[in-house]
Amino acid sequence: MLKTALDDIPAAPSARLLGWRLIDARPDRGWLKVGFDGRTEFCNPAGFIQGGILSAMLDDTMGPAALMTSEGRFYTTTISLTVNFLAPARPGPLIVEAQVIQLGKSVAFMEGKLMADNGAVLATASTTARLIEAARALRQDVYS
């Protein structure tokens, strides 16, 4: 697999909880594909994965897409996040693809789609994020 700027930072506790795993990356195209574990502990009373958890999965792919695209220079903090839920997500493997639409000097725009393991699109998202110098934002003692 292609080496990216994501290889140089530790996984956040929230990413580990969600089962974040890199599937594929195209830094030159601003595209990232990540797998997640849709655990039964994430379900609502109807047996579907709660929308906030799905939103976190989308957010936790779109932000890293910007970090990767900027070659590790910029970390993102979400300004706005819009999620459209198209179908319920059942427990099991989930996949998110994220695309950086524009990487500016202080703001980035990204889009994402969350899919079931069979490729069915369950949710889409768009986000606007502030860009912060990664060296300042990603202090190694944060996750200790």
**CB-based contact 131:105 (threshold 8 Å):** yes
The total number of structural domains that make up the chain: 1
Which CATH number characterizes residue 62's domain?
A: 3.10.129.10
In a domain, 23, yes or no: yes
pLDDT confidence of residue 139: 67
Q: Which helix (H) or strand (E) holds 69?
A: helix 51-69
pLDDT higher than 70, residue 41: yes
pLDDT confidence of residue 144: 41
In a domain, 96, yes or no: yes
What range defines the domain where residue 93 resides? Answer: 14-138
In a domain, 7, yes or no: no
pLDDT confidence of residue 137: 76
**CB-based contact 74:67 (threshold 8 Å):** yes
**CB-based contact 49:90 (threshold 8 Å):** yes
In a domain, 5, yes or no: no
Tokens encoding 11:
């996984």
pLDDT confidence of residue 135: 78
C-alpha distance across the termini of the chain, in Å: 28
Q: What CA–CA distances, in Å, run from 121 to 58, 77, 87, 141? A: 12, 25, 8, 37
